Structure 1
Amino acid sequence: MKIGFIGAGKVAKGFGIYLKESGLELSGFYSRTLESAQEAAKLTNSKSLALEEVAKNSTVVFITTPDDLIEKVCNEVAEQVGFSQGQTIAHMSGSLSSEQLKMAKQQGCNTFSLHPLQSFADPVASAEKLKDTFFAWEGKGNKKDISNILTVLGNNNTEISPEDKSLYHSAACIASNYLVTLLDSAIKLLEDTGIDRELSCEIISNLATGTVSNISNLDTTQALTGPIVRGDVSTISSHLDAYEKKGLLEIKNIYALMGLKTLDIAAKRGLSPEKIDHIKKILKEENFNE
Structure 2
Amino acid sequence: MTHRPLGVGVVGAGRVGAVLAAALRAAGHPVVAAAGESDASRARIAALLPDVPIEKPTAVARAADVLLLTVPDDMLGNVVAMLTASGAIREGQYVVHTSGRHGLAVLEPAREAGARVVAMHPAMTFTGTALDLERLGGCVFGLTAGAGERAVAEALVADLGGRPMWVPEEMRTLYHAGLAHGANHLVTLVTEAMEMLAAAGADDPSGTLRPLLTAALDNALAHGDAALTGPIVRGDAGTVEAHLEDLLANAPQTVASYVAMARATLDRAVTDGRLLPIRALKIHDLLARASVAAATPTTTLAPVVPPTVVDRTTHLR
> Once the two structures are aligned, what percentage of the paired residues are identical?
24
- Give unmatched runs, 5+ long, in structure 1: none
| CA drift at 1:125 | 0.9
| CA drift at 1:272 | 3.8
Cross-structure match for 1:20:
25
Q: Cα RMSD between the aligned structures?
A: 3.1
Cross-structure match for 2:208:
203
Cross-structure match for 1:252:
255
Which amino acid counterpart does residue 83 of structure 2 have in structure 1?
Answer: V
Contact 1:222–1:269 (CA under 8 A) maintained in structure 2: no
Cross-structure match for 1:147:
154
Cross-structure match for 1:163:
170
| CA drift at 1:146 | 0.9
Residue 25 of structure 1: SS of its match in structure 2?
coil
1:263/1:27 Cα in 2 relative to 1: closer, same or farther (>3 Å)? same
Tell me the distance in 2 between the aligned counterparts of 1:67 and 1:274: 42
Tell me the distance in 2 between the aligned counterparts of 1:49 and 1:81: 20
| CA drift at 1:89 | 0.6
Which amino acid counterpart does residue 214 of structure 2 have in structure 1?
Answer: T
Cross-structure match for 1:84:
90
Choose the corresponding residue for 1:111, options 117, 130, 134. Answer: 117
Residue 71 of structure 2: SS of its match in structure 1?
coil
Q: Deviations over 1:249-289 (max 9, x none)?
A: 55334323211211233246541424553344334442322
Tell me the distance in 1 between the aligned counterparts of 2:162 and 2:243: 43
Alignment of 1:27-106 (within 5 A): 27-31=31-35, 33=37, 40=45, 43=48, 47-48=52-53, 54-106=60-112
Contact 1:83–1:107 (CA under 8 A) maintained in structure 2: yes
Which moved further from structure 2: 249-258 or 116-125?
A: 249-258
Tell me the distance in 2 between the aligned counterparts of 1:261 and 1:170: 17
Cross-structure match for 1:10:
15
Cross-structure match for 2:306:
none
| CA drift at 1:43 | 3.8
1:47/1:185 Cα in 2 relative to 1: closer, same or farther (>3 Å)? closer
Alignment of 1:172-211 (within 5 A): 172-196=179-203, 199-211=204-216
Cross-structure match for 1:281:
284
Contact 1:88–1:145 (CA under 8 A) maintained in structure 2: no
Contact 1:231–1:271 (CA under 8 A) maintained in structure 2: no
| CA drift at 1:59 | 3.1
| CA drift at 1:14 | 0.9
Contact 1:117–1:135 (CA under 8 A) maintained in structure 2: yes
Choose the corresponding residue for 1:222, options 220, 226, 229. Answer: 226
Choose the corresponding residue for 1:263, options 238, 263, 266. Answer: 266
| CA drift at 1:131 | 0.8
Cross-structure match for 1:128:
134
Q: Deviations over 1:226-262 (max 9, x none)?
A: 1122232332232233335x26555334323211211
Instruction: Return the TM-score normalized by structure 2.
Output: 0.76
Residue 190 of structure 2: SS of its match in structure 1?
helix
- Give unmatched runs, 5+ long, in structure 2: 296-317
Cross-structure match for 2:245:
241
Which amino acid counterpart does residue 269 of structure 2 have in structure 1?
Answer: A
